[in-house]
């Protein structure tokens, strides 16, 4: 049922919690996990403006997925990692819909109702626009 699981991560504690749920789904259904980390365009520009070398920038981005990868390795789950560029919500939605995943797992950032109304939330955008079932982890 859930053979191809997309795990959206941002390197936060919420992502690690989400990873445990994605790993449980993968174990239960014999699936694999594809990790996606989206580099926001503004953050990308900031990295370049701070005179970081390409190597340092790449290392910093890979570091964002390290804790998630460690959890999946400990659980014995097969995974791939994708680093994408763009606005996180729409980029995750586009990637998920183009690649026919069985399920998307994403962490909630814990905005209160006012913050979410004003700022929006990546998880809210994903839930509304992805074709596959979405699991949001608090």
- Domain residue spans of the chain: 4-136
The whole-number pLDDT of residue 130 equals: 97
For residue 116, what pLDDT is reported?
56
Write down the pTM of the prediction: 0.87
- The CATH superfamily of 4-136 is HUPs (3.40.50.620)
Q: How far apart are CA 57 and CA 112, in angstroms?
A: 32
**Which letter, b or e, does each residue of 3-28 get, where b requires 16 or more Cβ atoms within 10 Å of its Cβ?**
ebbbbbbbbeebbbebbebbbebbee
pLDDT under 70 in the chain at which residues?
41-52, 110-120
Q: What is the pLDDT of residue 100?
A: 93
């Amino acid at each position: 049922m859930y053979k191809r699981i997309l795990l959206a991560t941002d390197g936060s504690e919420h992502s690690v919690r989400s990873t445990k749920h994605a790993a449980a789904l993968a174990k239960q259904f014999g699936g694999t996990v594809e990790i996606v980390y989206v580099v926001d365009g503004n953050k990308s520009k900031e990295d370049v403006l701070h005179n970081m070398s390409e190597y340092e920038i790449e290392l910093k981005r890979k570091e964002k997925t390290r804790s998630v990868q460690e959890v999946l390795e400990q659980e014995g789950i097969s995974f791939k990692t994708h680093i994408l560029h763009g606005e996180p919500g729409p980029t995750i939605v586009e990637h998920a819909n183009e690649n026919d995943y069985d399920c998307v797992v994403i962490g909630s950032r814990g905005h209160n109702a006012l913050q979410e109304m004003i700022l929006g939330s990546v998880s809210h955008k994903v839930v509304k626009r992805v074709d596959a079932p979405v699991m949001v982890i608090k």
